[in-house]
């Protein structure tokens, strides 16, 4: 029998590349905070971009923390979807698809905040001018299919929210959209989630911090019983082959 162990995972953390995040939430500081808070797996998931994932994965490897490259992608219906990958190259391939559908124009730093690409020493490499904080041209079904074609997991973000969620924007989960899981935000308890979203128990549920600042990292996490803190084991958990859950 394989030896299983409990791992804590926060699969929704923004970096300073997301315009709505604090500028000090750099990959290096994220990894430091995650290690300090006892997390074993995190996903760096900026809005519509994966530019800071490679450095985050590198720093995580040096610190013994599994960092998964991810994105929080906004569909054409303005619903948020977490796209989580096992390899940076897959996340960057998804980024290319997303970038082709982003609206034209330049990001307004004065109004919306900075979008920073940084290195492992917190040095700014670029003030990114793409318009990340908006909808892509990808409908939810196409987006989920694209994520799966690259070997990624597609998780509907914070479905309990009244905005930017699949349920708030569409009113239901279309039967031809095959999410790997649903995410509950830090604002909802497990008891309330069971009462309100019980119709969707056929899909795995996770909860995450959706951290936009360092203090919120790990305020919510999902526990997984895995052989190792790897993407491959995480995929097995979403398929029901490993135990996962949360009871906040």
pTM of the model: 0.97
> Per-residue pLDDT tens for 24-40?
999 999 999 999 999 99
Residue 2 belongs to some domain of the structure: no
Q: How many folded domains does the chain comprise?
A: 1
Is there a domain that residue 174 lies in? yes
Is 163 inside any structural domain? yes
- What is residue 83's DSSP assignment? E
**Does a structural domain hold residue 117?**
yes
What range defines the domain where residue 146 resides?
7-245
Strands (E), 55-106: 66-74, 80-84
Mean pLDDT lowest among 42-56, 94-108, 220-234: 94-108
Within-domain flag for 51: yes
| Closest alpha carbon to 25 in 84, 113, 157 | 113
What is the predicted pLDDT for the residue at 106?
A: 86
Backbone angles phi, psi at 173, to 5 degrees: -95, 115
In order of 129, 135, 215, the CA distances from 112 in angstroms are: 11, 15, 21
Please report, in angstroms and rounded to a whole number, the separation of the first and last CA atoms in the chain. 30
Nearest to 231 by CA among 9, 5, 4: 9
The answer to whether residue 1 is domain-embedded is: no
Q: In CATH, what number is assigned to the domain containing residue 212?
A: 3.20.20.140
- The angle that helices 140-149 and 88-101 make with each other, rounded to 10 degrees, is 150
Calculate what percentage of the chain has a pLDDT beyond 90: 94
């Amino acid at each position: 029998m394989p030896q299983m162990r409990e791992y804590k995972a926060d699969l929704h953390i923004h970096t300073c590349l997301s315009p709505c995040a604090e500028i000090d939430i750099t990959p290096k500081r994220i990894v430091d905070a995650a290690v300090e808070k006892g997390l074993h797996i995190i996903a760096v998931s900026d809005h519509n971009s994966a530019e800071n994932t490679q450095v985050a994965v590198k720093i995580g490897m040096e610190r013994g923390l599994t960092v998964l490259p991810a994105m929080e992608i906004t569909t054409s219906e303005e619903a948020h979807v977490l796209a989580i990958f096992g390899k940076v190259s897959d996340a960057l391939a998804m980024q290319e698809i997303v970038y082709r559908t982003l609206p034209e124009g330049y990001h307004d730093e004065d109004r919306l905040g900075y979008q920073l690409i940084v290195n492992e020493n917190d040095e700014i490499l670029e003030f990114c001018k793409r318009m990340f904080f908006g909808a892509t041209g990808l409908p939810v079904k196409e987006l989920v299919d694209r994520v799966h074609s690259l070997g990624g997991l597609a998780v509907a973000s914070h479905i309990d929210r009244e905005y930017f969620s699949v349920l708030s924007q569409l009113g239901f989960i279309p039967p031809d959209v095959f999410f790997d899981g649903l995410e509950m935000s830090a604002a909802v308890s497990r008891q309330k989630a069971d009462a309100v979203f019980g119709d969707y128990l056929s899909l795995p549920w996770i909860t995450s911090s959706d951290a936009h600042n360092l203090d919120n990292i790990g305020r919510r996490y999902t526990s997984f019983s895995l052989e190792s803190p790897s993407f491959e084991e995480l995929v097995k958990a979403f398929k029901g082959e490993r135990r996962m859950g949360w009871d906040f």
